[in-house]
Amino acid sequence: MSATILDGKKIGEEIRLAVAAEVQGLLSSGYRAPKLVAVLVGENPASEVYVRSKTKTAAALGVDSATLRLPSTISTADLLEEIRQLDADEGVDGILVQLPLPSGIDTDRVLEEVDVAKDVDGFHPVNVGRLALGQPCLTPCTPAGIIEILVRSGVQIAGARACVIGRSRTVGRPVAALLLNRHATVTVCHSKTHEISSVTREADILVAAMGRAGFVKGEMIRAGATVIDVGINEVRDGRELERFYEGEELERKRGVIEQTGRTLVGDVEWRSALCVAGKITPVPGGVGPLTIAMLMRNVVDAYRRRCRV
Ligand SMILES: NC(=O)c1ccc[n+]([C@@H]2O[C@H](COP(=O)([O-])OP(=O)(O)OC[C@H]3O[C@@H](n4cnc5c(N)ncnc54)[C@H](OP(=O)(O)O)[C@@H]3O)[C@@H](O)[C@H]2O)c1
């Protein structure tokens, strides 16, 4: 038996189209476009790529965007002042501070300075608290995307046993809260969990978000479970791919390494998981495409709530 592959690209595209239509509707009713500002501190190449990709998507959907570039030498106090100016700017609806910030900057303090109503990453402690209480709030984008995949793929969440591996601020904790808010029975595993397989094997919905290539093997999955693979791990050695793929897929992935020097795999060992799971997200093309789509959704939601439209 082979699992149904959940197409994150398609779901992400559906959400982007809906956001673009909503922005178009606002513009034709005489409102301004919602605006996102990305705060990029220092010159981290991965952060540059992420921010470019976010502003490019914004432009494609009719969302206004700008990038505030600041030097890696900026002090926490000066960065807080920059954030305060964005908070006070009536024309800005969403603020995202691209993480990680350079060492020496107090990340928690910076995230707390973002206006709760403009916190489109959902990292402000007030939004985190509201999420934990099941109250309306701006929700972290990757976890919100995971829920979209489950709901749009017809996966029953209420009453299901869910296991989340990972307890980070960005993925593990918020996705556990979202699943609980939708009435799943949720267990969170982490690096200190004993006998993790005995927990994962109980799960109807298994979310792997730890950043360990192929950690979740078929034998750790309950037959027929839905598996959401959040991990993004680089592989540079073609031989490592053999436990993930076979046949044409293996050759295709090896070709990618030959051409680009690397390829991506998830936290789930694809080959063994595919025989056991009922539904599964691939890497890439699963959760990844949802993250920016949900960011755009959050920008429009933040705009609507702030401007009451
Ligand atoms: N698709 C996307 O859009 C997207 C978005 C965000 C992240 N990601 C990817 O998702 C993965 C997780 O990201 P993150 O930011 O949540 O990572 P993170 O902050 O490094 O957190 C990793 C979590 O996994 C747990 N963990 C690590 N090794 C473990 C093990 N052997 N057994 C059980 N738990 C273990 C850690 O436990 P402790 O707390 O005990 O240390 C921690 O809670 C990464 O590969 C990242 O690149 C993808």
Domain ranges for the chain: 31-118, 141-231+266-287
* Intra-chain end-to-end CA distance of the chain, in Å: 49
**CATH placement of domain 141-231+266-287:** 3.40.50.720
Q: Domain 31-118 belongs to what architecture?
A: 3-Layer(aba) Sandwich (3.40)
- Common-topology check for domains 31-118 and 141-231+266-287: yes
Of 223, 203, 197, which is closest to residue 162 (Cα–Cα)? 203
Q: What is the set of active-site residues? A: 54, 98, 121
Q: What is the pTM of this model?
A: 0.97
Site to probe by mutation for ligand 1, drawn from 53, 229, 230, 291 as the one with most ligand atoms within 8 Å of Cβ, is 230
- Give the other-Cβ count within 10 Å of 224's Cβ: 12
Residues near ligand 1 with C-beta < 6 Å?
Answer: 142, 165-168, 170-172, 189-193, 196, 209-212, 230-233, 287-288, 291
Edge-to-edge strand ranges of the sheet holding 94-97: 64-70, 35-41, 94-97
* Residue-by-residue pLDDT tens, the chain, 309 positions: 699 999 999 999 999 999 999 999 999 999 999 999 999 999 999 999 999 999 999 999 999 999 999 999 999 999 999 999 999 999 999 999 999 999 999 999 999 999 999 999 999 999 999 999 999 999 999 999 999 999 999 999 999 999 999 999 999 999 999 999 999 999 999 999 999 999 999 999 999 999 999 999 999 999 999 999 999 999 999 999 999 999 999 999 999 999 999 999 999 999 999 999 999 999 999 999 999 999 999 999 999 999 999
